[in-house]
């Protein structure tokens, strides 16, 4: 299961590589999901009715993974560990990582700088 972060979904909407190609390939294979947090980020960032229609169409083609108890538990573990190491990241990214780990997914993102800090979080490679 591939879970797309907001940055690569925006790349897809703007036809920006390499994120657009990675999203298109995962969509073609029927493997693409995203989280409820990424859904919120995309909807909140839609500035006009035209981009909002594109965002809605994309989100409706994906499975939206929820923030449930298991994901919250995983996210709390991540948060405590990153705080202990002094390498915290934003709460949104921690919650996304918790969802991905709880679902057994692989995160597709350009934001490797944050997500590489999370032990055991599988990250998909973006091909240039």
User: How confident is the model at residue 49, as a pLDDT?
Assistant: 52
User: How confident is the model at residue 50, as a pLDDT?
Assistant: 55
pLDDT band (50, 70, 90) for residue 126: confident
Q: What angle do CA 114, 119, 67 make, to 5 degrees?
A: 75
Task: Tell me 125's DSSP state.
Answer: P
Domains and CATH numbers, the chain: 2-115 (3.40.50.1010)
Task: Render pLDDT for 62-115 as a digit per residue (tens, 0 to 9).
Answer: 999 999 999 999 999 999 999 999 998 999 999 999 999 999 999 999 999 989
Question: Are 121 and 108 a contacting pair, CB within 8 Å?
Answer: no
φ and ψ of 87, to 5 deg:
-130, 45
Distance of CA 1 to the CA centre of its chain: 12
Distance of CA 85 to the CA centre of its chain: 23
| Element of type H or E holding 33 | strand 32-35
User: How confident is the model at residue 21, as a pLDDT?
Assistant: 95
Task: Render pLDDT for 41-70 as a digit per residue (tens, 0 to 9).
Answer: 999 887 665 578 899 999 999 999 999 999
């Amino acid at each position: 299961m591939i879970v797309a972060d907001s940055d690569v979904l925006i790349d897809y909407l703007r036809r920006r590589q390499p994120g657009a190609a990675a999203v298109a390939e995962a969509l073609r294979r029927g493997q693409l999901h995203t989280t409820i947090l990424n859904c919120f980020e995309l909807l909140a960032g839609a500035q006009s009715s035209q981009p909002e229609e594109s965002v809605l169409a994309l989100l409706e083609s994906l499975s939206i993974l929820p923030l449930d108890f298991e994901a919250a538990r995983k996210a709390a573990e991540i948060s405590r560990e990153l705080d202990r190491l002094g390498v915290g990241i934003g709460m949104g990214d921690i919650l996304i990582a918790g969802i991905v780990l709880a679902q057994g997914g692989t995160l597709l993102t350009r934001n490797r700088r944050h997500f590489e800090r999370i032990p055991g979080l599988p990250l998909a490679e973006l091909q240039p």
